[in-house]
Amino acid sequence: MQFYLRLTNDIDAFQIFHDFDTAGFDELASWTEYYRCLTVARTGFCATLVMDDFGRETVLGIFSTIPVYTGIGRFVSFLTKESKKYLLSATPQLHQLLHQMIVHYDLHRVEADVCVEFPKYIKWATKFGFVSQGTINKYSPKGKDFIRMAYVV
């Protein structure tokens, strides 16, 4: 089994939507996330994480960094339910992608928001080098709390 990254296309975005981990989102918000996912895929530096298990490809997620201000970006990811099993194994490829995005956009700070109901993703972000900046209360459409995390170069 190996992991690789490829440039994201509309098919990847559609596939992610159908297996999107929708905890904390109602149906309308899920559609909003899908269109947000498409927008991210079509604009800017966006990559799809794929697991190749002896010729059987499985899309695990889409990752991008969107510049917000000069030197500051937002790390955005759309993950499938399947990604929970393999995300830690793919950390080296994603870490390399993050650094490519930092260089591409000339960033000194990258932020990400992680739902508190996903401790595995918080742990993963920490392994990635992100540090907790505090809790954002009622930040999702269903009022879920998130943790703001930052990677400072």
Split at pLDDT 50, 70, 90, the class of 16 is low
Q: For residue 130, what is the DSSP state?
A: -
What pLDDT shows up at residue 23? Answer: 45
Specify whether the CB–CB gap between 60 and 80 falls below 8 A: yes
Q: CA-CA distances (angstroms) from residue 139 to 26, 111, 123?
A: 14, 15, 20
Residue 26: pLDDT band with limits 50, 70, 90: very low
Tens-place pLDDT, residues 123-140: 888 988 999 999 999 987
Predicted local distance difference test score (pLDDT) of residue 109? 96
pLDDT of residue 28: 45
Q: State pTM to two decimals.
A: 0.76
**Sheet of 56-69: strands edge to edge?**
2-7, 46-53, 56-69, 72-79, 109-115, 146-152, 131-136
Residue with tokens 């392994």: 127
DSSP helix, strand, coil percent of the chain (3-state; round to 5): 40, 40, 25
CA dihedral sign of residues 50, 51, 54, 56: negative
